[in-house]
């Protein structure tokens, strides 16, 4: 994989993780400050979606590097 | 509480970050494009802008022109997931523009607003580095902004201790280039290793070359190469340096293959352009390649009004490190203002640090030594005696008056005050000097 592709992979991966971290931080804040099960459920869904997206990003690059 | 503009097109990130910042007590407005951010910036002022670089309609950097950064009311944090920007992060945090790398942490986000609170009491650092609000420093900032927009090579000219490397860091910060800042002291390199340090070498290129090494030009690719004490570079290596600057390619020692390098070279010297030419310490063609944009850094003695700011900044750092609250008395500050600082900011920093240690943690004020002059001071007795022996009292008086006027920018009232004579006496002396010069001219 060339340097440009690696940079893009890191960028795209970090963007997903960025969202994961901020949503997880928000969950922590909500758990300690106020109990809102629906809101926490919704945020956990965002985290799961972002983790799946991150996995897709890695898979796409794996396939790209094989071609 | 701060007003924050969050510029990012990732909705799952902006939703969560907005809510987190609201919990932390800040007001947040979100823009998902450069265009939308411009519209919002046209109607409202923000304390901090959190800016993603890759937006659907262009780079976040394009917004920097729309944000009033110069007066320090708005600060910008560039949020990037691009690894190339990562190397700049540590050098830039603390300026009006700083960087955070994705994925962010809550601590990182919170620290931005702690910095904002602290900056209310701390001294402003221009480009995250430079302290001073004097006219000569404003001119320096103007030159840095001018050159930052280009990729021109810069030569920094200034006395020892004025902060040439700090200015190099400021230029690098203002340029927002993707690569790192790499510093190399040409005066500290053994002659036989200059080529290897600058251009790198292949394994086995010479005895002791046990592995391949990238030179500083390669390391600074897409960034800034700071070559300190450039006039100490051996003459034999100067044609090689010139060739790199002319061709933007570098060939490692022992290699036949040339590599493309793209970096701005900021060189520095404590000699004046005239001295460089007279002493022939740099080839003329190399000088013109390096000094496309020469910048002269003012010595501390011509910006004495910045001394209180510098002292406050040094004390702020020392007090923060030690958990103390040591200040400086008005009398001692006046002594610092009256001194001529031949070692410039470096000498001032050293004196404050030494005095801080001598003061002890419980003292309210710094314990400045009785004699604050360094052995390098123009006020040092030995030097003065050597200079004056053999002169007439009249010559000495004339030199003292002229030097004092020069030091105080020809301010006659201040000069008379310092010399301990009336303004009338000062004018009488100056008239006498003028008349004697006229007589001498006529005699010729």
Instruction: Answer yes or no: is pLDDT of B368 > 50.
Output: yes
Would you say residue B120 has pLDDT above 90?
no
Strands annotated E in B32-84: 48-52, 54-55, 58-59, 75-80
CB nearest to B83's CB, from A7, A29, A50: A7
C-alpha–C-alpha distance, residues B261 and B249, integer Å: 5
Which residues lie below 8 Å from residue B240, measured CB to CB, with a gap of 6+? B195, B198, B199
ipTM over 0.85: no
- Which residue in chain B is spatially nearest to A49 when comparing CA positions? B12
Residues B201, B252: Cα–Cα separation, whole Å = 5
Q: What is the DSSP string of chain A?
A: --HHHHHHHHHHHHHHHHHHHHHHHHHHHHHHH---HHHHHHHHHHHHHHHHHHHHHHHHHHHHHH-
Q: How far apart are CA B121 and CA A23, in angstroms?
A: 34
> Could A29 and B23 be called an inter-chain contact, meaning their C-beta atoms sit closer than 8 Å?
yes
Q: Who has greater pLDDT, B371 or B244?
A: B244
What percent of chain B shows pLDDT beyond 70? 88
Residue at token pair 């955070």: B100
Residues B180-235 have pLDDT tens digits of 889 999 888 888 888 889 999 988 888 878 888 889 999 998 889 999 999 998 88
Q: Which carries the bigger pLDDT value, residue B293 or residue B42?
A: B293
Common-topology check for domains B135-296 and B302-359: no
Residues ≥6 apart with Cβ < 8 Å to B103: A14, A17, A18, A20, A21
| Residues contacting B25, CB < 8 A, separation 6+ | B1
Give me the residue spans of the domains in chain B. 3-119, 135-296, 302-359, 390-443
CA distance B417 to B424: 11
**Can you name the residues that pair with B266 across neighbouring β-strands?**
B154, B226
Give Cα B105 to chain centroid, integer Å: 30
Give the pLDDT confidence score for residue B376 in this predicted structure: 64
Task: Please tell me which of the candidates B16, B20, B81 has its beta carbon nearest to residue A15.
Answer: B81
Element housing B432 (H / E): helix B423-443
Domain B302-359 has CATH 3.40.50.620: no
Q: B209 vs A62, B2, B148, B200, CA distance in Å?
A: 37, 55, 37, 10
Rounded distance, CA A13 to CA A5, Å?
12
Averaged pLDDT for residues A31-35: 65
B48-57, B138-147, B348-357, B385-394: which range is least confident on average?
A: B385-394
CATH for B390-443, among 3.40.190.10, 3.40.50.150, 3.20.20.70, 1.10.10.60? 1.10.10.60
Is B284 buried (19+), middle (13-18) or exposed (0-12) by CB count in 10 A?
Answer: exposed
- Between B20, B84, B104, which is nearest A18 by CB? B104
Nearest by CB to residue B81, choosing from A11, A26, A43, is A11
Range of A41-45, B33-37, B85-89, B92-96 with top mean pLDDT = B33-37
Interface test with A, best of B80, B87, B99, B103 (most A CBs within 10 A): B103
Q: Do B19 and A50 lie within an 8 Å CB cutoff?
A: no
**Closest chain A residue to B84 measured between Cα atoms?**
A7
Is the CB of residue B349 less than 8 Å from the CB of residue B166?
no
CATH of domain B135-296: 3.40.50.300
B328 phi/psi in degrees, rounded to 5 = -135, 140
Cα–Cα dist B391/B400, whole Å? 12
Label residues B226-253 b or e (16+ Cβ within 10 Å = b).
Answer: bbbbbbbbeeebbebbbebbeeeebbbb
Collect all residues with Cβ–Cβ distance below 8 Å to B84 and sequence separation of at least 6.
A7, B178, B179, B222
Determine the Cα–Cα distance for residues A53 and A12; give it in Å rounded to an integer.
10
pLDDT confidence bin for B156, thresholds 50/70/90: very high
- Rounded to two decimals, the pTM is 0.56
Tokens 């940079």 -> residue: A7
What is the mean pLDDT of the segment spanning B160-177? 89
Which residues from A are below 8 Å from B10, CB to CB?
A: 15, 18-19
pLDDT tens-digit readout, B12-58: 999 999 988 888 778 899 999 999 999 998 888 888 999 988 888 98
* Mutation site, B6, B9, B11, B12, interface A, largest A CB count within 10 A: B12
CB-based contact B244:B201 (threshold 8 Å): no
pLDDT at B378: 52
Contact present, B184 and B226 (Cβ < 8 Å): yes
Question: Using the 8-state DSSP alphabet, how is residue B162 labeled?
Answer: S
Q: How confident is the model at residue B273 (pLDDT cuts 50, 70, 90)?
A: confident
Per residue in B49-75, pLDDT (tens digit) is 999 888 889 888 888 878 876 666 788
> Does pLDDT of B95 surpass 70?
no
The CATH number for B3-119, chosen from 3.40.50.80, 3.30.420.10, 3.10.310.30, 3.40.50.2300, is 3.40.50.2300
For residue B100, the chain A residue with the least C-alpha distance is A18
Distances in whole angstroms, Cα of residue B223 to Cα of each of B87, B283, B314, B324:
10, 25, 29, 39
């Amino acid at each position: 994989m060339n340097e440009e592709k690696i940079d893009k992979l890191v960028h795209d991966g970090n963007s997903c993780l960025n969202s994961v971290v901020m949503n997880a931080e928000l969950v922590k804040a909500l758990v300690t400050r106020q109990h809102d099960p629906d809101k926490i459920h919704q945020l956990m869904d965002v985290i799961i979606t972002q983790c799946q997206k991150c996995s897709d990003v890695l898979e796409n690059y794996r396939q790209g590097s094989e071609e | 509480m701060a007003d924050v503009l969050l510029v990012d097109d990732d909705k799952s990130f902006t939703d969560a970050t907005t809510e987190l910042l609201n919990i932390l007590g800040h007001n947040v407005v979100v823009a998902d494009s450069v265009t939308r951010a411009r519209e919002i910036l046209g109607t409202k002022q923000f304390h901090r802008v959190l800016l993603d670089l890759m937006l659907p309609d262009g780079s976040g950097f394009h917004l920097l022109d729309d944000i009033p950064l110069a007066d320090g009311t708005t600060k910008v944090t560039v949020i990037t997931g691009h690894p190339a920007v990562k190397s700049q992060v540590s050098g830039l945090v603390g300026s009006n523009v700083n960087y955070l790398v994705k994925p962010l942490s809550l601590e990182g986000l919170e620290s931005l607003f702690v910095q904002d609170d602290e900056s209310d009491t701390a001294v402003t650092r221009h480009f995250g580095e430079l302290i001073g609000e004097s006219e000569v420093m404003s001119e320096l900032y103007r030159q840095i902004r001018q050159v930052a927009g280009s990729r021109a090579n810069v030569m920094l000219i200034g006395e020892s201790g004025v902060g040439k490397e700090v200015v190099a860091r400021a230029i690098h910060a203002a340029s927002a280039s993707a690569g790192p800042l790499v510093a190399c002291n040409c005066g500290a390199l053994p002659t036989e290793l200059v080529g290897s340090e600058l251009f790198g070498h292949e394994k086995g290129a010479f005895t002791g070359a046990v592995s391949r090494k990238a030179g500083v030009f390669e390391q600074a690719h897409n960034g800034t190469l700071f070559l300190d004490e450039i006039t100490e570079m051996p003459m034999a290596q100067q044609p090689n340096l010139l060739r790199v600057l002319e061709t933007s390619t570098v060939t490692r020692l022992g290699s036949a293959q040339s590599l493309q390098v793209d970096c701005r070279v900021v060189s520095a010297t404590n000699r004046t352009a005239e001295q460089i030419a007279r002493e022939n310490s740099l080839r003329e063609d190399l000088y013109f390649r390096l000094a496309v944009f020469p910048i002269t850094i003012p010595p501390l003695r011509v910006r004495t009004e910045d001394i209180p700011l510098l002292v406050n900044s040094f004390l702020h750092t020392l007090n923060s490190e030690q958990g103390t609250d040591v200040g400086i008395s008005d009398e001692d500050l006046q002594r610092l203002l009256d001194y001529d600082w031949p070692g410039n900011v470096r000498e001032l920093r050293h004196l404050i640090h030494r005095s801080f240690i001598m003061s002890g943690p419980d003292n309210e004020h710094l314990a400045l030594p009785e004699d604050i002059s360094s052995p390098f001071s123009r006020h040092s007795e030995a030097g003065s005696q050597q200079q004056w022996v053999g002169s007439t009292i009249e010559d000495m008086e004339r030199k003292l008056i002229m030097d004092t006027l020069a030091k105080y920018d020809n301010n006659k009232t201040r000069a008379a005050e310092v010399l301990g004579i009336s303004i009338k006496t000062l004018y009488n002396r100056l008239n006498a000097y003028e008349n004697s010069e006229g007589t001498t001219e006529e005699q010729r």
